[in-house]
Structure 1
Amino acid sequence: MADGGVGSVTGAGFASLRPMVAPRNVAVIGASDDPTRIGGRPVHNMIRRGFAGGLWPVNPKRDQVQGLRAYPDIASLPGVPEAAVVAVPGALAEQAVDELGRRGCRAVIVFTAGYAEVDEAGVAAQERLVSMARGHGMRLLGPNCLGLFNAPLGYFPIFTSSFDNGWPVEPLAGRGRVGIASQSGAYGTHLFGAARNRGIATPVLITTGNEAEVTLGDVIGWLAEDDGVEIIAAYSEGVREGPRFLAALEAARRAGKPVVMMKVGRSALGAHAARSHTASIAGDDAVTGVVLEEFGVHRARNTEELLDVVYAATPRLYPVRNTLGVVSISGGAGVMISDAAEELGLPMPPMPEDAQARLRALIPFSNPSNPVDCTAQVFNDMSMVGAFARSMVEDGGYSSLIAFFTQVGASPTLAPKLRAELNAVRADHPDRLWCLSVLAPPERVREYEADGYLVFEDPSRAVVALAAQGRFGQAFARAPRAGLELPEVSLPAAAPDEAEAKRILAAAGVPPVPEATAASMEEAVAAARAIGFPVVMKLLSPDILHKSEVGGVMLDVADETAVRANYERLMWNAAENAPDARVTGVLVARQISGAVEVALGITRDAVFGPVAMVGLGGVFIEVLRDVALRRCPVDVAEAEAMIRSLRGFPLLDGARGRPRADVAALARSLSALSAFAVAAGEALASVDVNPVLVLPEGQGAFAADAVIELAARG
């Protein structure tokens, strides 16, 4: 393996991909003498790019393939291939995988399609393929896979036509290299081509296809541990093997490598298309979003944004306390940039007053706050550009800077002076993210980039990219999640009714309102007397989830006579509106007033496991959908951050003269609920605690209703 090539891995967490991504030799099963065919392109490209390892074409019909000796079968190969490309159809592919495994091959890349992406027969064939590979201890990429490349090694086991338009480029001095991980082969090579055209170095691309064995998480983990890559770009249609994916994102975060991901399938239509294309689970998009945010992944909305953020990451400067300073010859551009920064939460603090005074003395009609409008006056004395830029860095202390000079940046007479002034400041402050917004021909843009600047025509796009670098820095600086002590949990065999659900949750740390169960009218009277009037009375039934819809909730029950009347009414409503439901009695609870209603919940995501939810309670959660989600478990501090992130948080924080609610107590309950969900394991399907009645500060938060759903057995 060449020194410095992609493949020099630190750590061993994902090292089993090494023979696939950086092998010493490779066999191509189904190799073609035609360099334009699927089986011919890998051979052609590796010959052209000088792959130094063994390259062994297998073709029973030819003695030579593209000038190389060809072998009639796998058994005839001159040695044990570390990796192999399978480019033969149907049953021949299965036979090849089995023979390669028996020969001792450690990694196989399966181009062949017609598996789980097609039909049930394809699913069964894919399972056979995986079983063979695993039985031989062999990693398998695909099937239905375009392949990969590792450019520094000249290793191109891929059948794309992308290289007809150019090979991966080398990075500018001091710039980072980008690894691409993509479930889609065609879109992965589209990203490569777009990055190449923009001058972004992408030495490695790995496409995963159906992900029958090697997943996107495996690939991201490999790139996170690889010394030849500093930035990771990913395209995902659905995440498989959630724990592996999470481990990969954490490996990237710990390594200080930004991950920029396009995760498609946001819409119901998009999710369906993703399933039919790669036979993967799109999962709940909102959950995926919060998981990516947890690990500091930037989720790009489109290809342009992905490339912008990746490009801005190549200087490898990720300010933890990111602030933006703007110097401009256009007041309008400054306003545009300010709007974008405010929308993204990127701070633009003003320049210090004394610095403003000094700049105003230089150009009296300038606006030296931030954005700093130095006006077109600087054309008369370009040294003013240097003075303004230096003051912004040294007096303003901004970590990110945008200089908007539009077409002046391309002027044959003005651009050299502009460049010299800016370079003098930048040379003294190389630790800042410098961005120029100019309209210039490609050769002039390359000059600015070689000087160390990021160059954007659209300053709004620059703001998005710069804001992302600060979020990367914050993610890299965060300590890993601390573990929580989990409660002992014993779930019943059948779904519990409300009273039992509350007892289970109370034992886990989620306190209910004072209440008692009653199996008869007289027991209900005694319970109400002990609790104190007024009370709430509710049907107890494990079969009725929404009691209000069947007349199963009675409020403002003020005395014993009302208890008896409402008991009879509840029983009648149950018989009339839910005749098949099992009714075990009623629940009598203290009626609490002056509280804010909040909803807590747990849902089990198919990929990432239990997810905690908090939102405004009652009907608001369904109407406004103002909720915060996090992967379980969350500690009390993170739980409180979730609560404070709600748009409706002012209702808990004393809006319109209301007393402040006991947010601390609510956060403790949310954290406890999340720990309960983890401890309960896969037997738990969901929990709905709605409403939680949050009393004024210091008085607590109490579950007024609770539903626990168990997972279907088997």
Structure 2
Amino acid sequence: MHALDPLLRPRSLAIVGASDDPTRIGGRPIANMLKFGFAGRLLPVNPNRATVQGLPAFPDIPSLPETPDAAIIAIPGEAAIAAAAALGARGCRAAIVYTAGFAETGEAGAALQDRLVAAARQGGMRIVGPNCLGLFNGGLGYFPIFTASLERGWKPGKLGIASQSGAYGTHLFAAARARGIGTAVLTTTGNEADLQVADFIEWMAGAEEVEVIAAYAEGIRDGARFVAALEAARRARKPVTLMKVGRSEVGGAAAQSHTASIAGDDRVLDAVLADLGVHRARTTEELLDVCYVAQKRIYPARNTLGVVTISGGAGVLIADAAEAAGLAMPPMPEAAQERLKALVPFASPRNPVDCTAQAFNDMGVVEAFAESMARDGGYTSLLAFFTAWGDSTTMTPPLRKALKAVLDRHPDRLFVLSILASPERTRQWEEDGFLVFEDPSRAVVALTAMGRFGEAFARHAAASAAPPAIALPDAAPNEAEAKNILAAAGVPMVPERACSTAEEAVAAAREFGFPVVAKLLSPDILHKSEIGGVLLDLKDEAAVRSGFTLLMTRAAARAPGARVDGVLIARQVRDAVEMAIGVVRDATFGPVAMVGLGGVFIETFRDVAFRRCPVSEEDAVAMIRSLRGFPLLDGARGKPKADIPAIARALSALSRFGTLPRVVSAEVNPLMALPDGAVAADAVIELGE
């Protein structure tokens, strides 16, 4: 039995603040459960009435004839706290607190909310809310919620909605119902004083009532709890589509590294969701589209799209949408193309496959083309564009027959029709087993999500790598010290030496071979190029000697308060692509790894990829390949290809280092990517207590 079962599958429910008026907040849930046939016992608590909506009422919680599994609290603040204490004392396991006026109102309300939670915890009772609309489990007729959305009925289905916002959660329920999507379970969490959206996602992951999960969140306070819930859904092969609102701004002025300054909660969240196979919807329409297609429960791990159309223009539109979404549209096999050309010589059989207006004369052409795409092309997703043919008195009957024959032979495929049709006709197509969209571009986004779900479901959770056994210094290290630490962690470094005099610098340069690079060595000057603290291409001893003096002079003039430990002399690496790798401790999700184009371009282009630490070498390669600038590493304009595995090894090693508890951030910028290897030319480490 799950800890939340008494809340979501109760045998009895107390309603504290029960109203005889079915339109009031304390009356709507009772009216709903009487209407929809809740089989459990309803226990209204109202000191002023002997009955409520025809049910026996009780004057207070101690007088209840039995201990309820769950309760609704719909009375004002101080009384709500007293009710929570009384319910907990009776042994009630969970309470849904409608009452507002808590943390959402300010400090005084927050203090009141703390008292509410403390009162509930004293009796071991869980709290939903306060300031929430309630929840429901429709298959049980269980509707402890005061939304007006139920006035238009409830549609059974397998969608589970977990929403922090009550208004948006019920809006989504109503919009899904209008779309023909049935909602099994809806939960709203309000202030989340105790139970959070994550807790309900985790319950839905194991609930037989739910097959598809939609979630809405305004804030994620417990990253580990959130990730664990999403991981539970992934293991259960239940797709999650999330709408997360509220994009946090980056506190760039306080950032100690480029990694920290460009991360931001939202970019990290995107990376976490992608890692867990969650689709992040930007609009309600997109969220519903994905949930609609997910009802088929077909999640191809290697998703490809085949398109059959009567419009060449629509085929181009769909191909553009697929490329933008990252959904592969490989061409039909050559032999299949030849067979289709034999059927319709002027057809375009590559993919998209344009069967042309010839289909007007012979609907067998449509069936032959669609069947070939499913059988010969092997596409896991099929999109057929037939516009107004989907609602034509003359064309629809033979078209339905032709396409239904194909679908019946290939029930494992996602088959979408892009047509214009009345609601009645659309229902007929859906009853045949087709998914129906007016806009093919929206269909492409939803189909792409199915493949991403499939990829995530096919992955095994990676074993967590242990952090390196490295002793960290008490104070922030300078560059040379940071490089020694990271080298011990497995990040390769450019040969270099810290020098306190010009003569030491000359001796180091002579050993490494000219040209060399000279850099100020200071734990207080993190972005040295901004004050002229880096000199390149020093070709002889005289240049090194004068460069040493110049750097010390610039430090005194441009960073007078900085500690200066000397100058770092390093071998100059030529013909490398400059990369940046880093880790930063996100406030919500903990250590996160980053890779992107390095040098001064990292903040200019912001072409970076993130992933939670630790990162395997395989995942590091995927991060690198996801960059828009990857062609620079892959031999663009005839240049040698960079050693991608070497970059991945360095990134993976740095990500393991980032899991050490005191590491706030660490960055290597640039990491010099060469045809044979990758070496760090600069490093910054920020440590906490």
The interval holding the TM-score normalised by the smaller chain is: over 0.9
Which deviates more from structure 2 when the two are superposed, residues 240-249 or residues 326-335?
326-335
Mapped to 1, the partners of 2:205 and 2:410 lie a distance apart of 29
Which deviates more from structure 2 when the two are superposed, residues 52-61 or residues 341-350?
341-350
Mapped to 2, the partners of 1:602 and 1:206 lie a distance apart of 36
| Match in the other structure for 1:170 | 156
Indicate the SS of the match to 2:62: helix
Q: C-alpha deviations, 1:152-193, integer Å up to 9, x for none? A: 1111111111011222x134xxxxx11011111100111100
Residues 599-678 of structure 1 aligned to structure 2 (within 5 Å)? 599-678=580-659
Tell me the CA shift for residue 99 of structure 1. 1.5
One-letter amino acid of the structure 2 residue matched with residue 690 of structure 1: N
TM norm structure 2: 0.94
Q: Which runs of 4+ in 1 moved over 6 A?
A: none
Residues 378-389 of structure 1 aligned to structure 2 (within 5 Å)? 378-389=359-370
Q: C-alpha deviations, 1:448-479, integer Å up to 9, x for none? A: 11111111111222222122212211211112
Indicate the SS of the match to 1:548: helix
| Match in the other structure for 1:45 | 32
Percent identity, please.
66
User: Any conservation in 1 of the 2:248–2:265 contact (CA below 8 Å)?
Assistant: no
Of 441, 452, 457 in structure 2, the residue corresponding to residue 476 of structure 1 is: 457
One-letter amino acid of the structure 1 residue matched with residue 172 of structure 2: L
One-letter amino acid of the structure 1 residue matched with residue 69 of structure 2: E
| Match in the other structure for 1:705 | 682
2:243 aligned with 1:257: no
Of 558, 582, 594 in structure 1, the residue corresponding to residue 563 of structure 2 is: 582
Tell me the CA shift for residue 218 of structure 1. 1.0
2:183 aligned with 1:202: yes
Mapped to 2, the partners of 1:575 and 1:321 lie a distance apart of 59
| Match in the other structure for 1:125 | 112
Q: Structure 2: where are the runs of 5+ without partners? A: 251-262
User: Any conservation in 2 of the 1:215–1:240 contact (CA below 8 Å)?
Assistant: no
Tell me the CA shift for residue 561 of structure 1. 4.2
Mapped to 2, the partners of 1:566 and 1:353 lie a distance apart of 65
Of 14, 27, 31 in structure 2, the residue corresponding to residue 27 of structure 1 is: 14
Residues 353-502 of structure 1 aligned to structure 2 (within 5 Å)? 353-502=334-483
User: Any conservation in 1 of the 2:580–2:667 contact (CA below 8 Å)?
Assistant: yes
Mapped to 2, the partners of 1:157 and 1:452 lie a distance apart of 34
Which deviates more from structure 2 when the two are superposed, residues 364-373 or residues 450-459?
364-373
Tell me the CA shift for residue 268 of structure 1. 4.8
Of 258, 269, 290 in structure 2, the residue corresponding to residue 288 of structure 1 is: 269
Which deviates more from structure 2 when the two are superposed, residues 80-89 or residues 489-498?
489-498
Mapped to 1, the partners of 2:368 and 2:533 lie a distance apart of 74
User: Any conservation in 2 of the 1:408–1:414 contact (CA below 8 Å)?
Assistant: yes
Mapped to 2, the partners of 1:564 and 1:358 lie a distance apart of 76
One-letter amino acid of the structure 2 residue matched with residue 480 of structure 1: A
Indicate the SS of the match to 2:583: strand
When residues 528 and 82 of structure 1 are mapped into structure 2, their CA distance, relative to the original with a 3 A threshold, is same
One-letter amino acid of the structure 1 residue matched with residue 648 of structure 2: A
When residues 354 and 98 of structure 1 are mapped into structure 2, their CA distance, relative to the original with a 3 A threshold, is same
- The CA RMSD measured in Å over matched residues stands at 2.0
Which deviates more from structure 2 when the two are superposed, residues 384-393 or residues 596-605?
384-393
Residues 204-283 of structure 1 aligned to structure 2 (within 5 Å)? 204-266=185-247, 268=249
Mapped to 1, the partners of 2:27 and 2:36 lie a distance apart of 14
Mapped to 1, the partners of 2:333 and 2:548 lie a distance apart of 70
Mapped to 1, the partners of 2:335 and 2:35 lie a distance apart of 62
One-letter amino acid of the structure 2 residue matched with residue 208 of structure 1: T
One-letter amino acid of the structure 1 residue matched with residue 150 of structure 2: F
Mapped to 1, the partners of 2:249 and 2:366 lie a distance apart of 51
Indicate the SS of the match to 2:145: coil
| Match in the other structure for 2:52 | 65
| Match in the other structure for 1:548 | 529
| Match in the other structure for 1:686 | 665
One-letter amino acid of the structure 1 residue matched with residue 43 of structure 2: W
Q: C-alpha deviations, 1:393-443, integer Å up to 9, x for none? A: 222222221222222222223322222222222222211112222222111
Mapped to 2, the partners of 1:327 and 1:661 lie a distance apart of 40
When residues 505 and 134 of structure 1 are mapped into structure 2, their CA distance, relative to the original with a 3 A threshold, is farther
Of 245, 257, 278 in structure 2, the residue corresponding to residue 297 of structure 1 is: 278
When residues 478 and 54 of structure 1 are mapped into structure 2, their CA distance, relative to the original with a 3 A threshold, is same
| Match in the other structure for 1:274 | none
Q: C-alpha deviations, 1:102-152, integer Å up to 9, x for none? A: 111111111112222221222222223223333332221111111100001
Mapped to 2, the partners of 1:490 and 1:121 lie a distance apart of 45
Mapped to 2, the partners of 1:428 and 1:579 lie a distance apart of 78
2:172 aligned with 1:191: yes
User: Any conservation in 2 of the 1:322–1:347 contact (CA below 8 Å)?
Assistant: yes
User: Any conservation in 2 of the 1:283–1:606 contact (CA below 8 Å)?
Assistant: no
| Match in the other structure for 2:43 | 56
Residues 347-358 of structure 1 aligned to structure 2 (within 5 Å)? 347-358=328-339
Indicate the SS of the match to 2:4: helix
When residues 666 and 129 of structure 1 are mapped into structure 2, their CA distance, relative to the original with a 3 A threshold, is same
One-letter amino acid of the structure 2 residue matched with residue 709 of structure 1: E
Of 101, 111, 115 in structure 2, the residue corresponding to residue 114 of structure 1 is: 101
2:85 aligned with 1:98: yes
Which deviates more from structure 2 when the two are superposed, residues 508-517 or residues 628-637?
508-517
Q: C-alpha deviations, 1:184-203, integer Å up to 9, x for none? A: 11001111000001111111
2:147 aligned with 1:181: no
Which deviates more from structure 2 when the two are superposed, residues 594-603 or residues 577-586?
577-586
One-letter amino acid of the structure 2 residue matched with residue 568 of structure 1: T
One-letter amino acid of the structure 2 residue matched with residue 170 of structure 1: P
Tell me the CA shift for residue 290 of structure 1. 1.0
Mapped to 2, the partners of 1:389 and 1:571 lie a distance apart of 74
Q: C-alpha deviations, 1:65-118, integer Å up to 9, x for none? A: 111111111111111111111111111121211221111111111111222222
When residues 507 and 522 of structure 1 are mapped into structure 2, their CA distance, relative to the original with a 3 A threshold, is same
One-letter amino acid of the structure 2 residue matched with residue 61 of structure 1: N
User: Any conservation in 2 of the 1:283–1:607 contact (CA below 8 Å)?
Assistant: no
2:305 aligned with 1:324: yes
User: Any conservation in 2 of the 1:613–1:629 contact (CA below 8 Å)?
Assistant: yes
When residues 422 and 567 of structure 1 are mapped into structure 2, their CA distance, relative to the original with a 3 A threshold, is closer
One-letter amino acid of the structure 1 residue matched with residue 129 of structure 2: G
Q: C-alpha deviations, 1:197-234, integer Å up to 9, x for none? A: 11111111011112221111111111111111111111
2:67 aligned with 1:80: yes
Q: Structure 1: where are the runs of 5+ without partners? A: 1-11, 172-176, 270-281
| Match in the other structure for 1:5 | none
Which deviates more from structure 2 when the two are superposed, residues 179-188 or residues 437-446?
437-446
User: Any conservation in 1 of the 2:519–2:569 contact (CA below 8 Å)?
Assistant: yes
Mapped to 2, the partners of 1:540 and 1:531 lie a distance apart of 18
Mapped to 1, the partners of 2:296 and 2:643 lie a distance apart of 45
| Match in the other structure for 2:257 | none
When residues 652 and 337 of structure 1 are mapped into structure 2, their CA distance, relative to the original with a 3 A threshold, is closer
| Match in the other structure for 1:7 | none
| Match in the other structure for 2:255 | none
Which deviates more from structure 2 when the two are superposed, residues 248-257 or residues 120-129?
120-129
Tell me the CA shift for residue 558 of structure 1. 4.0
When residues 104 and 582 of structure 1 are mapped into structure 2, their CA distance, relative to the original with a 3 A threshold, is same
Which deviates more from structure 2 when the two are superposed, residues 293-302 or residues 433-442?
433-442
When residues 523 and 421 of structure 1 are mapped into structure 2, their CA distance, relative to the original with a 3 A threshold, is closer
User: Any conservation in 2 of the 1:238–1:283 contact (CA below 8 Å)?
Assistant: no
Tell me the CA shift for residue 283 of structure 1. 6.4
TM norm structure 1: 0.91
